[in-house]
A and B are shown apart, each in its own frame.
Chain A
Amino acid sequence: MSVSTVTKEQFKSFVAALVDSDQNVVGVQAKDDKFAFGELTDANALRLDYDVTILPPKKYMLPQREALMNFEVAGAAESVQPDEKMVLLGVHPYDMIAINQMDELFSQGEYDTHYMNRRNNITIIACDVVTDSKNVFAASMNSATCDTGYDILLTAIGDAYVVDAATDKGQALVDMMSGANEATDADLKKREAVHEKNIAALNKHELECKPSFLPKLLEKAYDHPVWEERARLCYSCGSCNQVCPTCYCFDVQDEVNWDLKTGTRCRAWDGCLLTNFATVAGDHNFRKKRADRFRHRLYRKGKYVPGKIDGQIACVGCGRCVTACTAKIANPVEVYNTILETTELR
């Protein structure tokens, strides 16, 4: 695998060629005054200088709504397996780390072919952050930079990108970039400087402990007043779930076609903050209180999911929930810091 340098102009020509090919290309583009991942039809629309996207790129591995199977009503069903290939352009390190976690969660134990097929059909071109968003705290979560999961990592250094091919798929794309030269020591030093800058700058909310301490911290916080104090203002809208790159809970629903004879079983995003998330038949709700649902999300990020993936903390510090929360209560750093400041930790 190679580490090369291309000018931004040369990279744009590469993207233009990619867009003109029969590949499905998805990249970050401006959407009003924000940014979003979407199908790329014009290389000029690609914005690798974006701060953060409204939704994380998980929607390409776990779409908001996807068909699991087609069926005959009250009869047999046939599996729907996605097979569309895609190049995903502009994944930030924190989102890359979130994707790596989901890859583990969907492949461990019972192997989820729907997620994994989509994932395996995606070539990821990640990029280091150029502009910090107003609520990012990736540095606090050790996810300001990443070193695995992508096929290519781009780092903007002045008028050029350092292009790090990490897989054969990535190398094949780099081989298509005309003008790519082996990166010089000076280029690599500039890349190092970008990483150092991001580790310092992507920290608008500063967690007062190492993220690896969170599972231990939460062992002592179950009855902390912070859950009630914050959840008092919670609208149970689930926005924090919907924008989170590591939330992957889903519901499954059957949709019947107009012929009333056939249909599709779909899965759709769900959220543990929504009132009826844990309601069973007969209307018994096992997590009825807002504070209990609020606590559940932060325990999932800091303790429960880490227990399934070797201690990796399931908050990557993208800051999207901080921005999305109408009541301004979702900030994980504020919650964890409050617990840190008020809990006896021996």
Chain B
Amino acid sequence: MCECSNGNKDIYLPELCTITKRRMLNGTELFMHLEKDSGEDFDYIPGQFVEASVAGIGEAPISISSSPTQKGLELVVRNVGSLTKVIHGLEVGDKLGIRGPYGSTYPLEEAKGKDLVFICGGIGLVPQRSFIRYALDHRADYGDITILIGTKCHEMRLFREEIALWEERKDMTVMETIDEGHDCWNGNVGVVTTLIPKVESHLPNSQILVCGPPIMYKFVLMALAEAEVPQENIFVNLERRMKCGVGKCGHCQMNEHYVCQDGPVFRYSDLAHVPEAI
């Protein structure tokens, strides 16, 4: 197999990985654990993404949900298009092509010794889980850990068992809310911003990590501004169409920034002059 050309690797060639575990997290979200067929382990930092592909169907950027402190790579794929529909049909033992990891990372080093507040909307929890698990595996390195999770409805809630385990821990705080109330749900009802006042005193000195659907950022960032959180302390993890992942194809561009290279994790204060960002 020719991977090289004048000593340069083909940046578009995926590496085959095997699905070692799979389960549905809800009606639309598939969780997968992958291992490289080469036997090597994955080398990445929380916040990064990979290009996942099935030859013959296509390729798409997918957030990494696992932490590099564990073995293998975990992805969560929503059944939303032609590629993801095929991925949902894959079984344990089937292959997925992976390129990457690509993009910027959460501020693992800078956040050391500081309190962390994760604000997650819907599948925004997926990439956030990478840093959450990393921080829990390096618990002594970080201050208080607070996780705010907003989900559209009870049925859509992700990682329920894992969240229950987090809730039992004495060294972190987890708050969940759902947009629409439900008979089986005794918790908070309302969008994720309704949780922000409950941790407000905590916010100004924390590192705030935000990930969710496009509409969520506007409201979360407004609430954080009201709570007088310095913009330097806020990190957003943005979604765009990162088709090539290597800063060439142009699809993920957000003004002069290529989200696949300068992002997906941005310090909010760096986006002051990037009107296409939020």
Chain A interface residues (CB < 8 Å from chain B): 68-69, 71-79, 81, 105-106, 109-114, 116-117, 222, 248-254, 256, 263, 265, 267, 270, 272, 277-282, 284, 286-287, 292, 296, 299-300, 303-304, 307
Contact = CB atoms under 8 A, between A and B. Distances in A.
A79 B256 contact: no
B95 interface: yes
B201 interface: no
28 contacts: A68-B10, A71-B55, A73-B55, A75-B95, A76-B16, A78-B1, A79-B3, A79-B12, A113-B8, A113-B10, A113-B11, A249-B251, A250-B249, A252-B244, A253-B58, A254-B58, A263-B55, A265-B12, A265-B59, A270-B250, A272-B250, A281-B78, A281-B80, A286-B240, A296-B253, A299-B256, A300-B253, A304-B253
A69 B12 CA distance: 8
Contact of A254 (B57, B95, B241, B250): B57
A263 B58 CA distance: 11
Contacts of A253: 58
Interface of B: 1-3, 5-6, 8-14, 16, 54-60, 78, 80-81, 84, 94-95, 97, 214, 239-241, 243-244, 246-251, 253-256, 261, 275-276
A112 B248 contact: yes
A300 B275 CA distance: 15
Contacts of A77: 13-14, 55, 97
Contacts of A277: 250-251
A303 B94 CA distance: 45
Contact of B249 (A73, A79, A249): A249
The 9 closest A-B pairs by CB, nearest first: A249-B250, A71-B55, A73-B56, A110-B246, A79-B10, A113-B5, A304-B256, A281-B80, A111-B8
A57 B80 CA distance: 39
A304 B255 contact: yes
A248 B55 contact: no
Contacts of B244: 250, 252
B250 A109 contact: no
Given A278-B251, A282-B80, A79 B2 contact: yes
Given A112-B248, A277-B251, A284-B214, 6 more contacts: A76-B1, A109-B246, A111-B8, A263-B55, A277-B250, A296-B253
Nearest to A109: B247
Contacts of B56: 71, 73-74, 254, 256, 263
Contacts of B58: 252-254
Contacts of B261: 109
Contact of A270 (B59, B239, B251): B251
B131 to A, nearest CB: 22
Contact of B11 (A110, A263, A292): A110
Nearest to B249: A250
B275 A222 contact: yes
Contact of A248 (B60, B84, B250, B255): B250
Contacts of B13: 68-69, 77, 79
A72 B60 CA distance: 18
Nearest to B242: A280
Identify which of A114, A252, A267 gathers the most chain B CB atoms within 10 Å of its CB.
Answer: A252
Nearest to A277: B251
A10 to B, nearest CB: 36
Contacts of A280: 239-241
A303 B12 CA distance: 27
Contacts of B78: 281-282
Nearest to A303: B256
A105 B250 CA distance: 12
B253 to A, nearest CB: 7
Contacts of A72: 55
A81 B10 contact: yes
Nearest to A70: B55
B256 A278 contact: no
Contacts of B10: 68-69, 79, 81, 113-114
Nearest to B81: A281
A287 B240 CA distance: 11
A284 B216 CA distance: 14
Contacts of A109: 246-247, 261
A160 B14 CA distance: 52
Contacts of B256: 299, 303-304, 307
Contacts of B276: 286-287, 292
Contacts of A222: 275
B239 A110 contact: no
A236 to B, nearest CB: 16
A81 B2 contact: yes
Identify which of B243, B253, B261 gathers the most chain A CB atoms within 10 Å of its CB.
Answer: B253
Given A77-B13, A109-B261, A287-B276, A281 B249 contact: no
A77 B97 CA distance: 9
B249 A270 contact: yes
Given A78-B2, A263-B56, A114 B95 contact: no
Contacts of A117: 5-6
Contacts of B60: 281
Given A106-B248, A109-B246, A111-B8, A286 B254 contact: yes
A252 B248 contact: no
Contacts of B6: 113, 117
A239 B247 CA distance: 23
Contacts of B247: 109-110
Contacts of B275: 222
Identify which of B12, B240, B250 gathers the most chain A CB atoms within 10 Å of its CB.
Answer: B250
A167 B251 CA distance: 36
